[in-house]
A and B are shown apart, each in its own frame.
Chain A
C-alpha cells in the first residue's frame, strides 16, 4: 500500500499544470481516486464531516449487482450454441461458460474502451473529474444486445449514446435518457436486421478458439416473445427454462434468478428505489393480466414479467436515479407506466416483440413531467398559504 502511494506521489507532478503529461491529468485522477479515497477535506464553512458513501461506491455496487446476470448470460450463450448445434450432451459446463465468456468479452471491452475513452477525453477537456456513470452503462450495454451484434456496430452505438445522450447534456446526472438504452435504441433503429426479427441473431453460431460448436446455416431460434409476435400461441420453451434463463435472448436479460440476486443487493443497499422497481412489476403484471383476460395476448401476467427484458429493465434500468422520476410519489407512477407501456407495446404492436426498451425511454421523457406535477402541488400549497392570510 505504501509503495503504491509513494509511486502515485512520485508521478503526480508530471500530471499537474505544466507537467509533461498534463494532457492525461483526468486519467491520473481517475486511477488515483480509484486506488485511494481522496483526502481533500471540507472547506472552512459548511459540513465538516461526511458520510462515507460516494458515487464511486454506488456505481460499483450496481456493477456488482449486474455480475450474476452477466456470468449467467455467458453460460447461456454457450448453452444456446450447444443446444442449436444439437450437441448439448457433448458440452461441458465450463466449456459452455468459456465459450460464452469469449463471445461476450470483446463486447465488454469495446463498450468500456469506447465509452470510457470518451469520458476521459471529455473530463480532460472540461477540466473535471471523471464521472463514474459509465462504469454501469458500460457493463449493461453488452448485456442488452444480441450475442451476434458486430463489434463495430456496438462501438458506433456506444460512441453515439455517450456523446449525444450524455455528454452534450453535461455528463452523468444531467442526462435525460438512460445511456445504455440509447445505445440499444440506436442499434435497434439503425441496424434492425441485426437486433431483432431475423431469428439468427440470438444464438452464437461459430466456434471460438476451438470452443463451442458450428451451427448449421439453416438453423433459427427465436426468443419466446418473437415466437408470440410471429403468431404462435404456445411457446417452445418451458416456464422453468424461462425463469432459469436457458432461452434465447439478449446476453444478460434471460435469467430471472440471476437478476433477482442483483435486485436483492440493490434493494438491500438502498441504491435502487424499491418503489420504482415494485411499481414496474405491478404495472406490467396488471397490464399483462388485463390483455390476457381480453384475449389479446396468449401470455399470462406471470410470463410477461419473466420473458424478454422486463426483469432486467425493471431492476437495472427503470431504477436509474438520474433518468427516473425524482419525487417519491412520482416514482410510483413512473414505474407503473413503464410496466404498462412495455406490455402494451408487446401486445398491441406486432412489429415490436419487446417493449421494455421503448417503455423506459418513453417514461424517461415523461419523468420530469411527473415530477413537475408533484413539485407543483408543493408550490401551489405554498402559494395558497400566502393568499389565505
Chain B
C-alpha cells in the first residue's frame, strides 16, 4: 500500500462549470502557435524561417543557453509567422497545419538524449526557480503529480483512460534518468496510478493545493540548497510514453473546457498550440465581457478567444471578466453570491456543493500585509509563507534562502493569493523573487 500523506491546510473553491466526462474531437487545421513564454526561464532562438516546411517533432526554436533543448512543432505544415514584440522578443512561432501530421521518427536509445532530440525535454521544469530544466544538471528525483486540485482543473484519471500503457512506458523511461515520485489523490482509484511501476507512489489526501507538485515535494523529500528536482506534468508523461512506443512525437492533450461562462463544459482532444477559436465557437457568449484562461483560474494565463492552447495547459477556463460590475457598499453588504473564507460573508453557511460563478475582479484595494496567518492556513508546506513573501519584497536573499525559497514555485502561492485580504500579487512577487535569485546564483 502506498504511503498516505494527509494535508489539512488548503482550500477547495467550488466553481461553476465543471467539465462533464465526455470528449469532443477537434480537427487539426488552421494556424498553430508555440509560445516561448510558456516555457519559463528559457531564451528562445528561432531555428526556422517563415515559409519553411516542418514535420511534427521538428524544432521551431531552441534555448539559446542550451541549444540541445529544443521546442518542437506539434503539427506538420508551413511556418507562417515568427511573431516578435518589443525589442524583437519572440512572442510566438506559428505554423499553418497541413492536416497530414507527418512526423519525424526518433530511434535514439539513450533516454535523456531521446527526450532532448524529440523536444519533450522542454516540458520538464526544475526546482529551484520553477524554470525549464537544465539537462546538464543531475536531478535528485523526478516528481510527477497525477492530479490537479485547483478549481475546474482537468481530471487526470479521466484523461488517462485508454492511455494507461503510454503512461507506464513514460514512467519507466523516466526511472532510468532519476528516481521517480508519483503523487496521486486519495480519490483516484485507477490501477494505472495506484499500482504504477518503476516509481514511488504517494497518496495525498487534502484540499488544494495538495495537487501541486511543489507541495508534494515538500512533504515527501524537501529540496535543500544545491539540490535539483525535475518535475513533469502527468499528461506529459503520456507524451513520453507515446514517443517510446511509436517513435513519434504526439502532443495531443485531452483538456477540460470549463468555467461558468461555457455553455456545455466538457473535455476536448487537441494538440498543444492549437487555436482555441474552433473549440470555443458556440460555447461562449461573445457579446459578454469574458476572461479566457489557459489553465485554471488560480494559476492560468489570460488569453483571448484568438489564442492558442498553452504548452502546459491541461484546461481552458472561461469566467466573467467582471469589469462591468458595480457592487454598492461592498464593505457592509451581505453579497450572498460571493464566495469567501471569511465568516463576514455567508458562503460558509451554504452547503459545500454550492457552486460559485466568480469573476476576475480583485474585489479590494492592494494593502500592506495586515492580517496574520492568512497564507499559512492554505499553505501546506513547512514554510512560513508570509515571512518568505516579506523577505522577497525586501530583497533579502540570505533570508529567502533560509526560509525555503528553493522549495516553492509561484503556483504554490495561488490559494494564498486567492484568500489574501490585502490583495497582494503573491505569484508575481514570488516569480520575481525567483528570477532575481536565479540571476544572482548563475
Contacts and interface: CB of A to CB of B under 8 A. Distances in A.
Max chain B Cβ within 10 angstroms of own Cβ: one of A41, A129, A132, A381: A41
B139 interface: no
Max chain B Cβ within 10 angstroms of own Cβ: one of A49, A51, A324, A325: A49
Max chain B Cβ within 10 angstroms of own Cβ: one of A40, A50, A58, A382: A50
A173 to B, nearest CB: 3
B361 A47 contact: no
Contacts of B341: 51, 53
A49 B369 contact: no
B300 A48 contact: yes
A303 B4 CA distance: 51
A1 B329 CA distance: 10
Contact of B365 (A38, A321, A327): A38
B359 interface: yes
B299 interface: yes
A48 B344 CA distance: 22
Nearest to A327: B384
Interface in A296-327: 321-322, 324-327
A174 B331 contact: no
Interface residues of A, number: 61
B421 A58 contact: yes
Q: Name the prevailing secondary structure of the B interface residues.
A: loop
Contact of A170 (B13, B324, B368): B368
Interface stretch (B87-95, B158-166, B187-195, B412-420): B412-420
A36 interface: yes
A324 B343 CA distance: 22
B428 A382 contact: no
Given A269-B344, A328-B373, A36 B368 contact: no
A378 B422 contact: no
B181 to A, nearest CB: 17
A52 B335 contact: yes
A49 B372 contact: no
Interface in A2-42: 4-5, 33-42
Nearest to A131: B367
Interface stretch (B113-121, B237-245, B315-323): B315-323
Q: Name the prevailing secondary structure of the A interface residues.
A: loop
A206 to B, nearest CB: 36
Contact of A54 (B322, B365, B428, B431): B365
B362 A38 contact: yes
Contact of A389 (B224, B345, B402): B224
A172 B368 contact: yes
B339 interface: yes
Contacts of A129: 365-367
Nearest to B300: A48
B85 interface: no
Interface string A32-76: 011111111111111111111111111011000000000000000
B297 A48 contact: yes
Contacts of A235: none
30 contacts: A1-B328, A35-B328, A38-B363, A38-B365, A45-B302, A46-B427, A48-B319, A49-B297, A49-B298, A50-B361, A50-B362, A52-B338, A54-B364, A54-B421, A54-B423, A56-B331, A57-B330, A58-B344, A58-B370, A58-B421, A131-B367, A133-B370, A173-B368, A269-B344, A321-B370, A324-B372, A326-B372, A326-B387, A375-B384, A375-B403
Given A56-B365, A269-B342, 18 more contacts: A1-B328, A34-B329, A36-B328, A38-B365, A39-B325, A42-B362, A44-B302, A47-B418, A49-B297, A50-B420, A51-B421, A52-B363, A131-B368, A270-B342, A327-B384, A378-B404, A382-B224, A386-B225
Interface pairs A-B: 10 shortest CB-CB: A54-B364, A173-B368, A37-B330, A52-B338, A326-B372, A56-B331, A53-B342, A37-B327, A47-B417, A41-B360
